[in-house]
Amino acid sequence: MASFKHLLGIEGLNPVAVTNLLDLAESYALLNRSGKTQRDLLRGRTLINLFFEDSTRTRTSFELAGRRLGADVVNMSVATSSVTKGETLLDTAATLNAMNCDLLVVRHNRSGAPALLAQKVGASVINAGDGTHEHPTQALLDALTMRRNKGRISGLTVAICGDVAHSRVARSNILLLTMMGNFVRLIGPPTLVPGNIATSGVEVFHDMKKGLEGADIVMMLRLQKERMTGGLIPSMREFFAYYGLDRKKLSYAKPDALVLHPGPMNRGVEIDSAVADDAVRSRITEQVEMGVAVRMAVLDWLARGGVV
């Protein structure tokens, strides 16, 4: 029997751990829809959200998840903290640790920052996105959304499109989806989807029509301009023309293919509003809903020792 103190990435998890987390998250999705709560599970525990990068979905859903399980939740505002006076990441974490925090949710622009903290603090550390490395709870909520809609999370053809090179969401999804026996296609210009990114079970395409043929799921990614050095695309207009998902390009995928996007979306850049807001094909709002359920499952699991 294995146990996990932290959730630093999909790397290190195994199919049993992923399946257990998705099953637990499914039960929380049903609980959330019923309007019932389970405020005894984390009563007396403290969760601190420590976000060095902006966030809407991840930070809010971790806060909701913690509160729905009864934890005391603190959102630390880095912009108004002593970080602005030069306090280091490790000193900041040690300070929070001294306040007997149980769960530390960390987002940072440096890959590996949550793993470094995990070695220094007593709390369970959850990676809420680190640089271009991983965003494990995003991949779990994407998997839960796919499983709810397709009835399985294996044997699916999933096309991940756009700025793969700078995307921690893509990296976590590639790890999870290949581990669970799906076929992953990466589609985008060579500057954003280099040929050497392909690993076992992953194919690279630079043409949307070829890449989307037969896809069950089309996952669009935002251009991560904050992580780009130099001009990697000729113009936004040209990027949209070749790689932006509109109704015509979506028609290359399976007729029942579903559209995902981790958010935040840049409409008219990587996705057209007609597709993003299509109630039949888009599952973007459901992804946000599943984000709360998945984060409840992760908090619950770690608080009980992360046993698999």
Each residue 263-302 as x (binds ligand CP by CB under 6 A) or -, in order, gives xx--------------------------------------
**Any residues with CB less than 8 A from the CB of 182 and at least 6 apart, and which?**
153, 154, 155, 156, 157, 158, 201
Q: Which residue lies nearer to ligand CP by CB, 56 or 109?
A: 56
Each residue 182-211 as x (binds ligand CP by CB under 6 A) or -, in order, gives ------------------------------
Q: Does 227 bind ligand CP (CB under 6 A)?
A: no
Q: Which residue lies nearer to ligand CP by CB, 198 or 288?
A: 288
Q: Does 167 bind ligand CP (CB under 6 A)?
A: no
Nearest Cα neighbor of 283 from 249, 253, 250, 260 is: 260
Six-digit token string for 239: 């990027």
Q: C-beta of 206: minimal distance to ligand CP in Å?
A: 25
Interface residue with ligand CP among 138, 172, 182, 282 (CB under 6 A) is 138
Nearest Cα neighbor of 42 from 131, 113, 123 is: 123
Binders of ligand CP in range 52-71 (CB under 6 A): 55-58
**Distance between CA 308 and CA 7 in Å, rounded?**
13
What's the number of CA atoms in the CB half-sphere (13 Å) around residue 286?
19
Q: How many residues bind ligand CP (CB under 6 A)?
A: 9
Q: What are the two backbone dihedrals, phi and then psi, of residue 284, each rounded to the nearest 5 degrees?
A: -65, -40
**Residue reference for tokens 């979306």:** 265
**Stretch of 50-58, 149-157, 250-258, 294-302 contacting ligand CP, by CB under 6 A:** 50-58
**Distance between CA 86 and CA 93 in Å, rounded?**
14
Q: Does 137 bind ligand CP (CB under 6 A)?
A: no
Q: C-beta of 129: minimal distance to ligand CP in Å?
A: 6
What is the arrangement of strands in the sheet containing 217-220, beginning at the earlier edge strand?
202-205, 183-187, 157-161, 217-220, 258-260
Q: Which residue lies nearer to ligand CP by CB, 63 or 216?
A: 63
Q: Please give the angle made by the CA atoms of 29, 34 and 36, to the nearest 5 degrees.
A: 95
Binders of ligand CP in range 248-267 (CB under 6 A): 262-264
Q: Which residue lies nearer to ligand CP by CB, 46 or 138?
A: 138
Q: Which residue lies nearer to ligand CP by CB, 62 or 239?
A: 62
CB 73 within 8 A of CB 101: no
Q: Does 129 bind ligand CP (CB under 6 A)?
A: yes
Which residues would be at the binding site for ligand CP (CB under 6 A)?
55-58, 129, 138, 262-264
